[in-house]
Structure formats: C-alpha cells, structure tokens
Structure 1
Amino acid sequence: MATPVGGAWQLAKLDTPGGYLIAPDPGNARLTRAVTGVDHLGRRTGISVVEERPLTIYLNRQEIVTAMTIGDYPEYLALGFLKNQNMLSATDVVTRVDYDEEVETVVVRTEVETSHEEKLKKKTRTSGCAVGTVFGDMMEGLDAVALPQTEVRASWLYALATEINRTPSLYLEAGAIHGTVLCRRAQPLVYMEDVGRHNAVDKIAGWMLSEGVEAADKILYTTGRLTSEMVIKTAMMGIPVLVSRSGFTAWGVEIARQVGLTLIGRMRGQRFVCLAGDERLVRDIDPESLPAEDRKHRRKGAQ
C-alpha cells in the first residue's frame, strides 16, 4: 500500500520507557494558532487554540464525507473512517492513498470498484465536530464481529491512565480536543488527537490497517464519551477493550454487551466503572494502595 507514514505530519516519538510509536507534538506550529483576547478582568491576553480545517475523503471517484479535523495524519484518518464505516471490506485491496494538501482532499484508491460505491453516491456527509456515523453500513459490519475474550488487568489500566495523563499533548497546550490511545497491556503505542473523538479513533484504525497491526491483544483508551458510535468503531477494529475517562450512554453499553466488548468508563484516579465484560476484568491491585491523581496531570475530555 502506498501510504505515507504521516508524510509531512510525522509527529514526535517520546523518550519514555517502551516509547510511543506516534505521539502528540504540542510544538507543531501547524496544529495550533496564537490568538489574542480579553480576560474576565478586561486584560488583553494571548492563548493558543487548535486549528480546524476541512478534509474531504474520496473512495476512488466517489466523494464520501467532509470532516473537520486538525489536519494531521489525513491518510490514516481517511483509511480508518472508511474501514470503521464498513465501506472497505476485507476483500478490498487498497492500492494508494493520495493526499493533496492544497485542496485538502484524500483519495483512497482500490484495485477494483468496491461493492459499496454505488449506494454511497447518496451518502455524502458534512460534520462540524466529528466525522459522524453512517449507521446502516456500520451495523451491517457489526453482525460479523467476533471479539476475542481477552483478559484485562486493573493494574494495566491504572498504569496506562498515569502515563497518558502525563504525556505532552495538544489538549494540555490548547484544550478543545479529544485524545485516543492504542495500547498493548500497560504500554501505550499510538496516541492521536483531534477536534472530534471519532476522528482520533479513525486515525488509529487507519494506522492499524496501513501497518497490519493485530487487534486482539490491544486496549483502546479515549477521552470521549462511550457512545454507540465509539463502541461500534472499537468493535469494527477488532479491539476487545475500550476505556474512557468519560461516561456512558445506554445504547453504548447495550452494544458492548451484545458484541462481547469490555467497556470501562469514568477512569479517574483510583476509580473506574465496568459496565460490560466484568468477567474478563482481573482486579490484581488494591486501588487504595495507589497515589491520588496529581491535579496538574489530570487529562479530562475536551472542553
């Protein structure tokens, strides 16, 4: 597959034990902008805000969606979106992913026309905060999902939360952004951020598809709400465990239980709640033995 690994958007590797394969670079000038405003006391003040730009995704010649995104890893976002929306099947061979920065488009090209392109001609979408969801296609793909019944240890979750909270990020620099992290046990691997939680998940899905990464032993950590869309996308990626600092929706819980996904939310400090897959959760550490979460390192959802 002729997919650039980040292209001009290659982000920094962190010098941490185990290290991230990809992690946020809050110093990337292309992703934020300095603006001047007035504070509550009437004083002029300067702050950093995240960029937001449109990215139009094509599947061969068919326009699919225009997503609002911060602009990094457009190739992965396009691939992951099409995969998670069930617009690319296991038999579709991707030959190229072409990004044109000048006109902000990504074209995902397949060896032959896909079975979905004809019905997709009526499904162009535009979204202001996230890519959104084409439920018909996603639910069709969900019927074929068979997630591995993978064990998850509480000690891994606490270690991940601590590491992720302390990772330099665009959120800590400018706020108004969601983060999603692909992890293997207690090791975070790939950390993506975007204005929409769906975009961040799709970037990781695109990276996994491009690199041929196995999903069965992975955990997906997100700052976003555990809605039906987030649960479906995680299941479509084949990842058996989804964890968030945020809360749940009823439909998200219902779908997680239906597909056998371990769903853990409200993961803050010494606390979390598991609403699906508790039988696969091993409580191998006493939460009371852990230090309280340092306030300056708290990583909340987008504000």
Structure 2
Amino acid sequence: MADYIIAPNPNAQRLTRAIDGVDHTGAQVEIPVVEERPLTIFLNSQEIVTAMTIGDYPDYLALGFLRNQGMLRDDDIITAVDYDDDLETVVVRTERQTSYEEKLKKKTRTSGCAVGTVFGDMMEGLETLTLPAAELRLSWLYALSHTINRTPSLYLQAGAIHGTVLCRADQPLVYMEDVGRHNAVDKVAGWMLKHGESAEDKILYTTGRLTSEMVIKTAQMGIPVLVSRSGFTAWGVEIARQVGLTLIGRLRGQRYVCLSGADRLIRDVEPSSSREDTGKRHRE
C-alpha cells in the first residue's frame, strides 16, 4: 500500500450507517450507507454557504472552498479555523476584514454531485493564468491508477461517493472522499493551503467527470495535471487547453485519452509492459 499522508478510513465512525434492506434474491441484508450532513461555512462574521458533506476534515473543506472561490487571498493571514460539531459550523478567521455580499449574490450551480455552488465570475483570473509545463510520465500514470484503485476506501465499502487524490510523480499523497467531487477537491486544496504545499509538481487524480468546474479549480490551485477515470465536457477541455493544463480522462488500467497537453506526455513505458488492473476489489 502506498505511504499516504492522508488516506481514507472506511471504518471511521459517523461516515457510514448500517441500514437493513432486501437484495435481488429477496434475502434480508444489512449494508453500510454513506452519511451526509450539512456544514455551514463562515468567513469571519459572514455566512458563506451550507454544503452537504460526509463530515470529515471540515477545516480543510472550509479553507479549500474559500480559497477556490477567491475569498481567501494568497496574502491572507488566517488567525483561526473554529469547528463546532454540535452546530455543524466552521468559521475561518482572517486578519483582513472581509465582505463578499456582492459576490454572494451571483451564484452558479455546478454539475457536481450533491449540487455544488460557485460564487462570482468562474473565469476570473484565468485569462492571465498559464500553468507550468510539467511532464507526465506514463509509468507514473499507470502506477497511480494501480495503487489508488486498490486503496481501501468508502467507495469500495459503501459506494455513492467521489475521491480526489493529490499526487507527486507516481506517489499518491493525500486521498480525500466526499459525496460531491467538488468537496473532495476543496479538501485537498484546504490541506495544501494549511500546510503550504507547492502545486507545480503535483498531479490531481479524481474519480469524477472532467467538467469546467473541475478544470477551473485545478487550474486555480496551480496544479498542472488533472487525471480522471471518467469522461470530459467540451468546455472543460477548452479551458484546459487555454491555461496549459494536461488533461487525462477515461483512465482504465493502461487505457486513457489525453485531450490537452499530449506534447507533455513522456512515454517511458509501453502499455503492454506495465501492470494491468486485474484485481477484484477496485474501482471499475
């Protein structure tokens, strides 16, 4: 198993609940079902959004959401992140006085599961953004797919959930899950912000679709490579090409499609010489 900094804990309390039912044969069954609960995020004294989440890493989710919405600036000094489990709220406090009343009036409901929301101009800042031309070795791609798909996770235990993994070369580092893929990405962004992690040498792996929202968030985080086992949207591809993001989709074993950044792929292994995904307990 890879040496993750953070990995899913399928047995963590409160993330799933055992529920009785009947299977296709009529037999009584009890299966784990993913919990979802509201989390209200405040920036200083202003309520920003209520997100539906599985409830783990609320501090990272709040930090990442605010950072990806442009409400936390690079030069902001964060003085505290306070989570109240009883009230299901998290408050991010900064030295800078903040007010985003106008920004909050403009909401865009995204295509993400659990219905994501972004505020303000989604394309703000992308016009002048160019990501570093980071290389992507096929050996890294195949190794990441092999390892991540076999990592014990809530998905393998209960399904109905998305995963996002921050990686460096062929090493997965931080693996977050949530009911919405946007939440999982925000948790990764929050972890990077809190720990001052650089982005230019990273790869972001997601189980979700490569939509405009996913591409924009990855680009705003400064990560130059985005990989998914799912498919693309045309706008997502257009934005990836605009900002120089390497975009890999439909990754299954040794098969993939690259719709942006193919010139940055380094074919250091032939598909036939790398490991196939033949395990029984992994994502299909």
1:138 maps to 2:138: no
8 Å CA contact 1:223, 1:245 repeated in 2: yes
Q: What residue number does 2:199 align with? A: 215
Report the CA distance shift for 1:182/1:121 in structure 2 as closer, same or farther (over 3 A): closer
Q: What residue number does 1:198 align with? A: 182
- In the TM superposition, 1:2-151 aligns within 5 A as 16-17=1-2, 19-114=3-98, 117-122=100-105, 129-130=113-114, 132-134=116-118, 136-151=120-135
Select the residue among 226, 234, 255 that pairs with 1:250. Answer: 234
- 1:23-52 Cα shifts (integer Å, max 9, x gaps): 001111221100000112222111001110
Report the CA distance between 1:231 and its aligned residue: 0.3
- 1:40-72 Cα shifts (integer Å, max 9, x gaps): 222211100111000011111111111100000
- In the TM superposition, 1:158-177 aligns within 5 A as 158-177=142-161
Structure 1 SS opposite 2:80:
strand
Report the CA distance shift for 1:52/1:126 in structure 2 as closer, same or farther (over 3 A): farther
- 1:127-184 Cα shifts (integer Å, max 9, x gaps): 9944624263431132343311111101100000001011110111100000100000
8 Å CA contact 1:67, 1:126 repeated in 2: no
Structure 1 SS opposite 2:174:
strand
8 Å CA contact 2:103, 2:120 repeated in 1: no
8 Å CA contact 2:67, 2:73 repeated in 1: yes
Report the CA distance between 1:292 and its aligned residue: 2.8
8 Å CA contact 1:63, 1:121 repeated in 2: no
Structure 1 SS opposite 2:123:
helix
Q: Work out the CA distance in 2 between the residues paired with 1:30 and 1:144.
A: 43
5+ long unaligned stretches in structure 2: none
Which consecutive segments of 4 or more residues in structure 1 shift more than 2 A? Answer: 120-131, 133-138, 141-146
Query: Given the two structures, how large is their TM-score scaled by the length of structure 2?
Result: 0.94
Query: Given the two structures, how large is their TM-score scaled by the length of structure 1?
Result: 0.89
5+ long unaligned stretches in structure 1: 1-15
Q: What residue number does 1:287 align with? A: 271
- 1:258-303 Cα shifts (integer Å, max 9, x gaps): 0100000001011000000111111111101234311514314xxx
- AA in 1 matched with 2:185: V
8 Å CA contact 1:151, 1:282 repeated in 2: yes
Q: Work out the CA distance in 2 between the residues paired with 1:182 and 1:210.
A: 14
Quote the RMSD (CA, aligned, Å).
1.8
Q: Work out the CA distance in 1 between the residues paired with 2:241 and 2:58.
A: 32
Percent identity of paired positions between Structure 1 and Structure 2: 72
My pick for the range that moved more, 201-210 or 103-112, is 103-112
Q: What residue number does 1:185 align with? A: 169
Q: Work out the CA distance in 2 between the residues paired with 1:125 and 1:235.
A: 18
